[in-house]
Structure 1
Amino acid sequence: MNITTGELAQRMGDAESTAPGSTDDGCRLIVRRASEIEKKPVEWLWQSRIELGSLNLIGGDAGSKKSLLSCALAAAVTTGAAWPGDLNGRPPADTLFLPAEDDLSKAVAPRLAAAGADLERVHIVEATEIEKRTLACMLPRDAARLGRLIRQTDAKLCIIDPIKSYVDADTDSNRNEKVRNDLHPLVKVAADTNCAICLISHLNKACTTQPSALYRLAGSLAYVEVARTVSIVVADKDVPGRSVWVPVKINHAARPDALAFSVQTTDDGLPVVLWDKNPVPIDADEALAPKSKKASSVTDEAMEWLESELESGPMSAADVFKKGKEVSFSEPVLRHAYTRLGGKAVPIREAGKISGWEWSLPRRTS
């Protein structure tokens, strides 16, 4: 049977119209069967905390030590050091750093060095040169350039601190659709290079109508939605001088416990992160909640314990810490409690050298 050209075209059109995704307006949805999609495992820079090939959002108030945390992350990546709770470590890798708020020579480079980073592996992005003009680095304009630099250095970590300083001035940081579109090139860069891109953000002021930690991240909710991991750094309400890094959202793993760290000062006066050995079982909403005035704090409990232990006389600080650990009091808590009680440590000398410190409490007059 002979078929005319018109009939053949009609049959082809009928066949196309029955294909998955076809519509009557000449457009069609692009469809793939799930069986055709290549399956890939989720890869982690830090298991269940920082995901490779994705955006990772870390928020915190001013003074919460989130920038010091960034330096600690860069140090671990560039040296291959093991993360807290991870005994295996990994091969050293390069890191890109985009710091907008801290002075490079007075803060960024010295803090990276103090943290133990391999400075040869840290690449600090200062600006962009376009047609012989030096401009501030901006997204999404410079996303492709950033991707090329990641490939050239084979970096596994890229820190943008803070992200709002690098978002195009024309972008309204509170408009979800606009922010999502502007972040899309950066999402693609992370996926194409398998680099963990960490966006550092500030927190909004607490709001009683939006108590969830997810809504405390500054700017559009699109930042939270696009990132595969979201976490916050906050001051520990119960342990003065200690911060907690708390997971808020982990898309591709069970949410782990928070990690705590304190800040120590080097001989050169530089702050460095000192991780606590034990994780902290606290969620983000609890960490951000105001401290109850009625609740007895850990410091108050430690003060009562110290008064009981030192009632019979002086004790070496080493013994205090050892006994305190047995009842779950950390060294920072005990030091703060001792100061609150008015205690003054006396050096223990052996052969003319200080070998330790002796703690005692001032006598109370009746």
Structure 2
Amino acid sequence: MSFYGTNHPQAADPLDDINIAKSTREVVLTSAATIKPRPVFWLWKGRIALGTIALLAGREGLGKSTLGYWLAARITQGEMFGHFYGTPKSVLVCATEDSWEHTIVPRLMAAGADLARVYRVEVVNALDVHVGLSLPRDNHALERHAREVDAALLLLDPLMSRLGDLDTHRDAEVRQALEPLAAIADRTRMAILGLIHHNKSGSADPLQLVMGSKAFTAVARSVHTVVPDPDDESDKRRLFGTPKNNLGRTDLPTFTFTIESHAIETDEGTAWTGSLTWGEELTHSIGDAMRRAADVGEDRSAATEAAQWLEDYLAMHGGQVPSADIKKAAKAAQITDSALRGARTKLRILTPSSGFPRITYWELPPVVSQSSDPSRGDHTTNTTDTTRGSESQWCQSGQSCDDSRSLDTTDAGGCLDCGESLPASTLPLGGTHHAHCGAGAA
């Protein structure tokens, strides 16, 4: 029997149902008095509402998928703070970019998921060939299976790949796929989370950064964003925030997280995957963080260009130049004082001084020789610093290995205004600038 009843013959293809629906359209009026109001029920309290479509957006490689599987794991264990807290539910996952054996299942295991409650969504055609889920073509079957396994979440990773031949930059075609999907979410009381990339516009507005048509953010009831933390120089910490939340608060806090390596034991040996670790809660919004990131990015870019200029300038002048001459030349090259200070820090410029009256010089540091054995498959590097300390082993990931590097701690670097060397005790903890070195302008 057709989905639309006995008045129409059995459809051989789901698209035939859509064509039948178009041919039998009629306008229906419903009195608002007959529609009962309902409260909002949350899958993730205050962030993702049941019965809606949500987006998780961000640049590639920032941990969106890992966060998605962390959420899936909490749902399967009944640990997600929301309507189903204490009640484990099933999760449907439609993911085509990552391998289930090498990536997805290990990530779920690292997050502590009940794998028996996670279902891979595939489509098999009449020739037993596996093809991708296509929306809205496969809507009816998708809804039926969601009901059968009592799913609370459908994870689409990525959402763009599920729209088939539809043009993802045309509002009308995106709505053709998403609005029926939203109706499925509403009927099944299931949340649907679509992972989507940021575009390359460079905008600091998290909603403008979402790739494709504006219909994606318009149809979604909540939009969540993952961005790098602009205050983390290690580039490991991420920020998670909710710039759009139609059914809840718009002033939700921003959370920090990192992705840590996690070992999973398999029948064939150890598999390594990523595991999400939450950090501190921040009071500012994700939009504020993105605007600050744009400013920091400009500062870092200026410092990088200044570092290239400074390195070339010192090399052309014998490697050592009076700091006053450098500042004069930098000004002529239209390099700001802040960019020059950043360049000095980036290059680890030495600041010897001599003569009377004393003149401070900026000097390129000695070359550090490094060697590694790629055949070992590890990341151990032998480093010899010719100016201070002895040969040590240092891990390229930033972790010290067998030895500790011997450092001369009597010099904490130079004043970034004049370059004068300063004793370690005069610098504030974590400071990089000292306005009262006593040397005067060099």
Q: Map Cα deviations across residues 274-328 of structure 1 (whole Å, 9 max, x no partner).
A: 11243452232532541435699xxx9xx9xxxxxxxxxxxxxxxxxxxxxxxxx
- Aligned position for 1:266: 262
Percent identity over paired residues: 32
SS at match of 1:39: coil
8 A Cα contact 1:232 1:245, kept in partner: yes
- Aligned position for 1:316: none
TM-score, normalised via structure 2 length: 0.58
SS at match of 1:53: coil
8 A Cα contact 2:224 2:244, kept in partner: yes
TM-score, normalised via structure 1 length: 0.69
Q: Which of 106, 110, 116 is the aligned partner of 1:110? A: 106
Q: Distance in 2 between matches of 1:267 and 1:362?
A: 38
Q: 1:32 to 1:118 in 2, by over 3 A?
A: same
| 1:248 aligns to 2:248 (yes or no) | no
SS at match of 1:233: strand
- Aligned position for 2:175: 180
The amino acid across from 2:71 in the alignment is: L
The amino acid across from 1:111 in the alignment is: R
Higher RCO (CA-CA < 8 Å; seq separation 6+): 1
SS at match of 1:45: strand
Q: Aligned ranges for residues 1-366 of structure 1 at < 5 Å?
A: 30-83=28-81, 89-130=85-126, 132-169=128-165, 171-207=166-202, 211-239=204-232, 240-255=235-250, 256-268=252-264, 269-284=272-287, 286-287=289-290, 289-292=293-296, 363-365=409-411
The amino acid across from 1:80 in the alignment is: G
Q: 1:188 to 1:128 in 2, by over 3 A?
A: farther
SS at match of 1:223: helix
- Aligned position for 1:15: none
8 A Cα contact 1:343 1:359, kept in partner: no
- Higher CA-based Rg: 2
Structure 2: gaps of 5 or more residues: 1-24, 265-271, 301-337, 346-394, 412-420, 422-442
Cα distance, 1:82 vs structure 2: 4.3
SS at match of 1:200: strand
Q: Distance in 1 between matches of 2:38 and 2:91?
A: 24
Q: 1:28 to 1:62 in 2, by over 3 A?
A: closer
Instruction: Tell me how large the CA RMSD over aligned residues is.
Output: 3.1
Q: Distance in 1 between matches of 2:111 and 2:126?
A: 34
Cα distance, 1:125 vs structure 2: 1.1
The amino acid across from 2:170 in the alignment is: R
The amino acid across from 2:142 in the alignment is: L
8 A Cα contact 1:81 1:90, kept in partner: yes
- Aligned position for 1:336: none
Q: 1:261 to 1:280 in 2, by over 3 A?
A: farther
8 A Cα contact 2:229 2:289, kept in partner: no
Q: Distance in 2 between matches of 1:126 and 1:361?
A: 58
Q: 1:90 to 1:280 in 2, by over 3 A?
A: farther
Cα distance, 1:359 vs structure 2: 12
SS at match of 1:276: strand
Cα distance, 1:236 vs structure 2: 0.9
- Aligned position for 1:332: none
The amino acid across from 1:284 in the alignment is: G
The amino acid across from 2:191 in the alignment is: A
- Aligned position for 2:349: none
Q: 1:263 to 1:39 in 2, by over 3 A?
A: same
The amino acid across from 2:409 in the alignment is: R
Q: Distance in 1 between matches of 2:89 and 2:406?
A: 48
Q: 1:43 to 1:238 in 2, by over 3 A?
A: same
Which segment is superposed worse, 38-47 or 262-271? 262-271
8 A Cα contact 1:212 1:285, kept in partner: no
- Aligned position for 1:7: none
The amino acid across from 1:247 in the alignment is: T
Cα distance, 1:69 vs structure 2: 0.4
Q: 1:270 to 1:343 in 2, by over 3 A?
A: closer
Cα distance, 1:223 vs structure 2: 0.8
- Aligned position for 2:418: none
